[in-house]
Structure formats: C-alpha cells, structure tokens
Amino acid sequence: MRSALPLLRRDLAESRWGLVGWASGLAVFAGLYLPLFPTFGGRDSQLAELIRSLPPALVKTLGYEDIVSGAGYAQSTFFGLMAFALTAFAAVSWGAAAIAGAEESGRLELTLAHGVSRARHVLESALSVLVRVAGLALVAVLLVLALDGPSQLGLAPAHVAAAGVSLAGLAVLTGAASLAAGAATGRARWATSAGAIIAFGGYGTNAVANQSPDLDWLHALSPYAWAWRGAPLEAGWDVPGLIALWGTSAVLVGAAVWLLDRRDLRP
C-alpha cells in the first residue's frame, strides 16, 4: 500500500476488460448511427420532413430541433443519447463499487487496515472513476473525429473535444453522486440509485423543461442541461456548464470524504 496510488492502480487493473467492453459499446453505436447522416441529414431530407410532421412540443422534449444538421444529429443520436447512457452506467457502477461495494464485500475494512486513510481511499477512488471516464470520453471523441468525414457531419475538431469534456463531466458527476451516497450509507443499492437519479433524473428534468418557456427554470436543476444546453458540438466550449458539472463533482467528492470519515464502519 506504500506504492504510488495503489488503489487507483488496482482499480484500473481489475476493470481493464470492463473498460474495453464499454469502449466497444461506444464504437458499436457510433458506427451504427453516425454513418446514417448522409442518408437522413439535410433541411430537405426525409428526416427533416418527419421532424416537421411531429408536434413541436414533442420535438423540443426529445431535443430534435436541430437533428438535421451534422452537429445536431451527432448530439441527438450519439453524445446526448447512447454515449451519455453508456458512460453514465459505467460511472455509476464504478462509483457504487468504490466504497459501498467494497464495504459490503469486506474489502474496505481490509484496505483501511493496511494503513490507507479513509480520505485517501475516497480520493483515489474518485480519481480512478475520473481516469476511466476520461478514457471513455476520449474514445468517444476519437470515434466521432474518425467518422466525421465519412459521415459528412462537418464538425469542428475543437467542438468535438468540447463535447467530450462535457460528456466526461456529466459521467463523473453521476459517479461522484454514487461515491458520496456509498460513503453515507455503505449500501451499493443506494449508491447506484443516487447516481441513476442524477443521470436519468437530470435527463427527464431537461426533457420536461424543454416543453414550455414557463418551465425553462428547470434547466438550472438538470445536470444533463448543464452539459448540453450550450450545444458544444455547434458552439464550442460552454464554460458555465462545465463549471457547474465539475464543480458539483468536486463538492460531492469532498462530501464523500467527510461522510466516510465520520461513519462507524464496524459491523
């Protein structure tokens, strides 16, 4: 345990094949959806006609207002849907396993008995979630850049990078919520539920907020909106959204340190 970042190294070693699996899922969905844009994209395409035939409220709820552009299509079908779902699922599973899962299995007590402080355990666990999520976000960015030309999306590389950072921030936030809930309760089911509420509750809140200008204030409560309302694929870096995502994640990790340090871990 005296070697540099032992918990991080252990987590990365034990989850390497799972990480390959999540990355493969991203590759599958990117390969399925993005190359279809030349067939469906464009203002006069069949997809545009279909979108115009749908009720405007439904189109806004789904976030399909700009799906006929390359940036809007990549956002709606990949970054804001499948990449978001896969990275969020992965981050929640990693965050829930880091403290709550380790406590339920007895591994946390063993780790702490080897001279690792509770704060160090939380911080290295958070770092391991961050590193793995960053790896998935990088894969997503590289996939989109590789498919940009063949799929005729017309995306700016800097904007794709901005979308990748937003994707990572949203996933890290869900993982941090699971980490904090695990530190507070020591129960994996509650840790998983907390991360899922942040991820998919935020998605639902954003969808409801899109339905009416009177509900626009709900966007401020949705991490999903923090990540995507600024349309990074089209407009580039959304600094306020990134500050909200990464700042809240830091607060949750700090809360996890505080909560675990004050809990009685005796059975």
The CA distance from 263 to 244, in Å, is 28
Average pLDDT over residues 21-44: 85
The CA distance from 156 to 197, in Å, is 32
The CA distance from 63 to 201, in Å, is 16
Token reading at 78: 């990949």
What are the pLDDT digits (tens) for 74-105?
Answer: 998 899 999 999 999 999 999 999 999 999 99
pLDDT band at 212 (very low <50, low <70, confident <90, very high): confident
Give the pLDDT score at 210.
Answer: 84
Over pLDDT 70: what percentage of the chain? 88
Give pTM, 2 decimals: 0.90
Give the pLDDT score at 5.
Answer: 85
Over 70: is that where the pLDDT of 217 sits?
A: yes
Over 60: is that where the pLDDT of 43 sits?
A: no
- Of 35, 166, 30, 195, give the one whose Cα is nearest residue 101: 195
Q: What does DSSP assign to residue 41?
A: -
Question: Is the pLDDT higher at 49 or at 221?
Answer: 221
The CA distance from 204 to 13, in Å, is 35
Measured CA distances, 156 to 29, 58, 144, 236, 262 (Å)? 21, 29, 11, 9, 48
The CA distance from 25 to 87, in Å, is 10
Give the pLDDT score at 34.
Answer: 93
At 263, phi and psi to the nearest 5? -90, 145
CB 54 within 8 A of CB 65: no
Give the pLDDT score at 127.
Answer: 97
Give the pLDDT score at 1.
Answer: 45
Length reported for the chain: 267
At 157, phi and psi to the nearest 5? -55, -40
What are the pLDDT digits (tens) for 239-262?
Answer: 999 999 999 999 999 999 999 998
Token reading at 183: 């530190």
Q: Is 171 exposed, middle or buried (0-12, 13-18, 19+ CB in 10 A)?
A: buried
CB 119 within 8 A of CB 53: no
**Contact residues for 116 (Cβ-Cβ < 8 A; gap 6+):** 1, 6, 7
